[in-house]
A = this chain, B = another copy of it.
Amino acid sequence: MSRSIIVASNRGPITFERGPDGAPAARRGSGGLVTALSGALQEAEGVWVAAAMTEGDREMAIASRGGRIQHDEGDIAFRLRYLDIPPEVYDGYYNGISNGLLWFAYHYLWDTVRSPTFGADVAPVWESYVDVNRRFAQALAEEGDREGGDTAFLIQDYHLALVPRLLRELVPDALICHFSHTSMAGPTYQRMMPAQVHDQILRGMLGADVLGFHSPMWAENFLLAARQLPGVRVDLARSRILVDGRLVAVRIHPISVDARAMREAAATQRVRTLRRGLNRWRNNNRLIVRVDRLELTKNIVRGFQAYELFLRRNPDWIERVRFLALLSPSRVELPEYREYTEACVAEAARINDELGRPGWSPIELRAKDDYEGALAAYGLYDVLFVNPVIDGMNLVAMEGPLLNRRRGVLVLSRNAGAFGRLGRYALGVNPFDLDEMSAAIGEALEMPVDERTRRARGLSRLVLANPPARWVGGQLEDLERALRRRPVS
């Protein structure tokens, strides 16, 4: 394909930090999204538009004078455009609306009897959200212009939900895909948002030609929510929407992880050393591992309680199993997240206190950013415990099976997008049901080796069969199809 690609996301693939010598040093982000999109951009010589996150990013943005930052890293050349957004505007857009409101709505996180309560504080943060989305749309239109117009725009996630529509207003025939990496709530729940926010977010997304989701559950909830808007016609059977005389296709493209990069990262001397250390620490215990951000959706407290219930029901497992929880801090600006971290720590401490023995604690909680520690733990688990309340996709459920060396069993929430792809080789659980989760832990620990082998192989095969490039490729094909369906003008 000769079409150029322009990506937009809140966070860019490279972060610049001023080093001790005063020169900005670059750090590359990890994860399937960056890998997938970097690969696609490399081929298409495209551009990545993002918000400047650090002082270093900001300096690079200012130095580029609203132009592009060229950054070569190994054999990959990045062309970046970083937007310098005033901190108070960014705060309203990022903490106020994106993570304070949309994230909660899409993940059913509200305590409806008490929260949310939308007051006079919504209007100013909403204004910031619109402002940042407008800056992105403007930058994308300019970049598209520089590329000569034959461009595919790949817009990422709920931070930029208004961009498709705003960009469409600037470039009416633009070819736009918006991808949601979160879950989506159904229409009744989404209507809890302030009416204006609710309507504008949906109409903003509907500016795209293609809307991508990780799971059929989220795509369906979006279609149903869109059906609430006057003048919008939704065809559920064909998964498409007619709005303003345009067709919007709603499509499912589950993202995956970059197997080669992960295996390389796990083969370093540092990870080997960590793995040996962990293996000594585990001693003769079977090992249950969870790896998560300290995020409200991840269901860490109930996970500990399910494990506690398992130990109380099966006391013969005491001193024979350990639960290692690797938890990285997240969104510490939001008070709900700080409270949740405290609750996780307190619950683990209580259980260790009640069920521990001299020299043996049931739970080891490590709260810090430690990707290499996670890579080491992936190699060693007997059970990988992934029980989010709800989750757009969940990449831990893919990373673990790719690196595990003990035919470990995956216990996986049926509310994770990943369940749609991996469910048949995992033990599925309802994340609210301690009874079911505790039984799944028992089943995983007692599973015969043949069955464990069959499942472990199935999981890594599925992950390997879906490289990140396929995720981008699917969206680009959908865009070409959308273009062919357009009426000839």
Contacts and interface: CB of A to CB of B under 8 A. Distances in A.
B194 A433 contact: yes
B194 A436 contact: yes
A187 interface: yes
A185 interface: yes
A166 B194 CA distance: 43
Contact of A433 (B109, B195, B415, B434): B195
Interface in A103-131: 107-114, 116-120, 122-123
B108 A188 contact: yes
A168 B432 CA distance: 32
A351 interface: no
A309 B120 CA distance: 9
A113 B109 contact: yes
Given A430-B195, A435-B120, A435-B122, A188 B113 contact: no
A302 B415 CA distance: 31
A340 interface: yes
Nearest to A192: B432
Interface string A234-261: 0010000000000000000000000000
A435 B113 contact: no
A408 to B, nearest CB: 24
A272 interface: no
Interface string A385-424: 0000110000000000000000000000011000000000
A296 interface: yes
B119 A434 contact: yes
Contacts of A120: 309, 434-435
A144 interface: no
Contacts of A236: 236
Interface in A412-461: 414-415, 430, 432-436
Nearest to A120: B435
- Most-contacted residue by chain B among A183, A193, A296, A302 (CB, 10 A): A302
Given A109-B112, A186-B189, 17 more contacts: A108-B189, A112-B389, A112-B432, A113-B336, A118-B430, A118-B432, A118-B433, A118-B435, A119-B309, A122-B435, A186-B221, A188-B189, A188-B217, A188-B221, A189-B189, A191-B415, A195-B433
20 contacts: A107-B112, A108-B112, A108-B188, A110-B112, A111-B111, A112-B390, A112-B432, A117-B434, A118-B432, A118-B434, A120-B309, A185-B188, A186-B186, A186-B224, A188-B221, A188-B390, A189-B189, A191-B414, A194-B430, A236-B236
